[in-house]
Amino acid sequence: MPNVSLDIPEDLLVTLREQPAELSQEIRLVAAIHYFGEKRLSLGQAARFAGLNRLDFLDALSTRGVPAFDLSLEDAKAEVQAARREP
């Protein structure tokens, strides 16, 4: 698996009050949300990129106010109607 590394000045880590592992996880999550929002990654791929399962990634999206699903009003109505017809 390829490895990407970033050099972060020590004073910025102190300012952010982050340990390197915590900052790394946050950067992965922010990047995954970005690529998901740009529709470059699916929900599952973005969750994997962030190192989370799908439910935890959905929670992270919700916490940050990022919509998980992009449905038009017509598509949403069709989904609701279909759900009502299922036993």
Any domain includes 45: yes
Q: Record the tokens describing residue 80, joined without a space.
A: 């609701």
- 8/21 Cα distance (integer angstroms): 12
Number of domains in the chain: 1
- 9/74 Cα distance (integer angstroms): 49
- 21/75 Cα distance (integer angstroms): 41
Q: Domain containing 68: what range?
A: 10-85
pLDDT for the residue 72:
76
pLDDT for the residue 80:
77
Per-residue pLDDT of the chain (87 residues; tens, 9 = 90+): 889 899 999 999 999 999 999 999 999 999 999 999 999 999 999 999 999 999 999 999 999 999 888 777 787 777 778 778 866
Any domain includes 1: no
pTM for the full predicted model:
0.77
Any domain includes 3: no
Residues 78 and 84: beta-carbon distance below 8 Å: no
